[in-house]
Homo-oligomer: A and B are copies of this chain.
Amino acid sequence: MSDSRRPSTADADVTARLREAITRGQLSPNERLIEADLAEHFAVNRASIRMALAMLDQDGLVVRLPNRGARVRAVSDEEAIEIAETRLAIEVMVARQAALRGDDAGRTRLRAIEKDMRRAVTENDAAHYSQCNAALHRELQRMAGNATANRILSTLKSHLVRLQYRVILLPGRPRKSLAEHRAIVAAVCAGDGDAAERAMREHMISFTRLLKQAIGAARLGGF
């Protein structure tokens, strides 16, 4: 659903593809991004690549040094924690706003996602659980209707994707996470902003703590 006759430039297209290649880990952190090579790989000219690199630099996914080219930005461990903390602050606000401003359709969808989530846990389907998790947060964002927060969250998430799968795969995580999610859904559906905020804070603190553990473990075991 992206190659129809809708007006779109090569630039925007290649930017999206390059962004995905980075977030999906097909390009390693600190890997050099050589304009000519990328231009050939994506079958566009260098100007488009240049544009894409400039935008991804602004996004924080790429670092560019004058006359010295671009690299995939490596998020350090400290940075990953910073990002998680900032994400926490915004997700908490989003949960509150979703509780206060959400509509009936949203609440219905929220309950459906929760149900689906329960099934994923009983069936031990980690992949599906991860999808439900994303869907739930997405629905909360939609209900909150704060486009600014949504934009920021999506860029923050794009910086963490590489790391967060470690957390999801931790033993016992889905069961714990499920309970937290149910508390969030209950509070939001009840229209209780304070409770939603508390529940989301609990959830994100728990996530952040595990992220720190995962990072610490990787630091010891990785090299």
Task: Report A's interface with B, CB cutoff 8 A.
Answer: 7-9, 11-12, 47, 50-51, 54-55, 57-60, 65-67, 79, 82-83, 85-86, 88-90, 92-93, 97, 146-149, 151-152, 156
Beyond A51-B54, A89-B92, 14 extra complex contacts between A and B, CB < 8 Å:
A7-B65, A7-B66, A7-B67, A8-B66, A9-B67, A12-B66, A50-B51, A55-B57, A58-B58, A82-B146, A82-B149, A85-B148, A86-B90, A89-B93
Cα A189 to Cα B207 in complex, Å, equals 29
Please, which residues of chain B bring their CB within 8 A of the CB of A8?
A: 66
Which among B50, B51, B152 is the interface contact of A152 at CB below 8 angstroms? B152
Chain A contact residues: helix, strand, loop or mixed? helix
Show 9 A/B contacts (Cβ-Cβ < 8 Å), sorted by A.
A7-B65, A9-B66, A51-B51, A58-B58, A86-B93, A88-B93, A89-B89, A89-B92, A148-B156
CB pair A60–B146 under 8 Å, yes or no, is no
In whole angstroms, what is the CA distance A25 to B90 when docked? 29
Contacts of A149 in B (CB 8 A): 82, 85-86, 89
Known contacts A47-B47, A51-B50: A82-B12 contact under CB 8 Å: no
In the assembled complex, which residues on chain B have CB atoms less than 8 Å from the CB atom of A60? 151
A147 to B78, CA, bound (A): 10
